[in-house]
C-alpha cells in the first residue's frame, strides 16, 4: 500500500496536482489490515463510510446504508 500511495503522490506532483492531506480520507474496503496509510509522513484519516457521486460507500461494500438513506430521503419528500 505504501508503494501505491507513493506512486499516486508522485504522479500527482508531476502533473502539478497537490494532494491535501487534511482533506484526504482513507476507506479500507473489505480489509483486515489496520496499518495506517501515510502520505509524506502524515497519517491519513480512516473513515467507515463516504459519499461518492451521491452513493454512500462503506467498509463492507454493501448497499444497505445507501438504500436506507435513499428511503429516508424519499419519505421526507413524499410526505411534504
pTM for this predicted structure: 0.66
Residue 74 has pLDDT above 90, yes or no: no
How many CA atoms within 13 Å lie on the side-chain side of 51?
5
pLDDT band at 3 (very low <50, low <70, confident <90, very high): confident
**Which three cell numbers, joined as nine digits, stand for 11?**
504522479
d(CA 55, CA 69): 9
pLDDT band at 28 (very low <50, low <70, confident <90, very high): confident
Amino acid at each position: 500500500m505504501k508503494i501505491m500511495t507513493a506512486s499516486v503522490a508522485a504522479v500527482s506532483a508531476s502533473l502539478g496536482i497537490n494532494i491535501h492531506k487534511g482533506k484526504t480520507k482513507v476507506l479500507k474496503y473489505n480489509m483486515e489490515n489496520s496499518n495506517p496509510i501515510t502520505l509524506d509522513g502524515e497519517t491519513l484519516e480512516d473513515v467507515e463510510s463516504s459519499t461518492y457521486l451521491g452513493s454512500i460507500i462503506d467498509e463492507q461494500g454493501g448497499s444497505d446504508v445507501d438504500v436506507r438513506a435513499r428511503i429516508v430521503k424519499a419519505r421526507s419528500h413524499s410526505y411534504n
